[in-house]
Amino acid sequence: MTGETYPNIEELHTLKNITNADEIAFYGGTFTGLPQKFMIELLSVHPNIPKRISTRPDCIDESIITILKEWNVKTIELGIESLDNEVLSASNRGYTSETVFNAIELIKPHFEIIAHLMVGLPKDSKEKDIATVKDLIKLGIKEYRIHPTLVFKNTKLEEMYKNNQYVPLSIDEALDIVSDMVILIEGNGGKVLRMAYHVPQSQLQFVVAGPYHPSFGDMVRAHIIRKIINKLEIKKVKYPKKFASWFNSYGNTQLNVIKEETDNTNCEIIFDNLLYNKALQLYMMNS
């Protein structure tokens, strides 16, 4: 996806010269789909340094769990994408929601899980995306990355798009869906670590269609701010200067509220007398 050169195993040995790292990460692909001997060779670099890996639900079993525990893996980024079987089938993921539930059951007692979700896949809908988040919250998943689906050149999805078999989300549709997902996750005490893919500059030429924007995450945050202010009829907001773009850009220039910006970086966002998380909860109750 990145178009970068695949690393040579010899290059990885340069990691042995690093002594002050907090974590070594192997992600962006299906790490546990590698041959076990190669996987162990990678994990054995600095066994004392915690590891983070990414994988698919259908590449997790008890033997894999044993290896990951033995070699100091602490976090697994799990490419769930959706819990709707129609979406998984239409997207050719090769597994069902049952596979995801089984993988989570194996992973959860031993590792931190970060769920990767996609919106705008074939046969997807806002209702299905929200249902997926609700099911994962019930399972105790706290951290997420959410990626709107993009169409890249020379892919099956591009072929479907050109044949009118697939319609990508507009940027407004993606903002509406993802903002509601974030409100649901963070209103229930979770955290969204990233929204949208990082597409390297060299690869932008291969994006054919879809809701791509380099500031998509900030746009979602601005969308959430606007939804809360409108739904709860907020009169005054107070926010740290570092979040100024959420209140003054991406369609929020003309917000009909009194704005108080502070240099205090420890200040929380406050809507009238409501802290941010409480405002999220009230928004959900009123939706």
pLDDT tens digit sequence for 102-149: 999 999 999 999 999 999 999 999 999 999 999 999 999 999 999 999
Say if residues 120 and 211 touch (Cβ distance below 8 Å).
Answer: yes
> Does residue 3 surpass a pLDDT of 60?
no
pLDDT tens digit sequence for 206-256: 999 999 999 999 999 999 999 999 999 999 999 999 999 999 999 999 899
**pLDDT score recorded for residue 60:** 97
Tokens of 136: 């994962």
Greatest alpha-carbon span in the chain: 61
> Does residue 5 surpass a pLDDT of 70?
no
Domains of the chain: 9-205 (3.20.20.70), 225-285 (no CATH)
- Mean of per-residue pLDDT scores for the chain: 93
Q: What three-state secondary structure class fits 15? A: helix
Give the Cα separation of 287 and 282 in Å (integer): 9
Say if residues 128 and 177 touch (Cβ distance below 8 Å).
Answer: no
> Does residue 1 surpass a pLDDT of 60?
no
> Nearest Cα to 220, choosing from 174, 188, 261?
174
**pLDDT score recorded for residue 45:** 86
pLDDT tens digit sequence for 45-76: 888 999 999 999 999 999 999 999 999 999 99
> Does residue 9 surpass a pLDDT of 80?
no
Confidence of residue 265 (pLDDT cuts 50, 70, 90): confident
Please report, rounded to a whole number, the percentage of residues in the chain having pLDDT higher than 90: 82
pTM over 0.85: yes
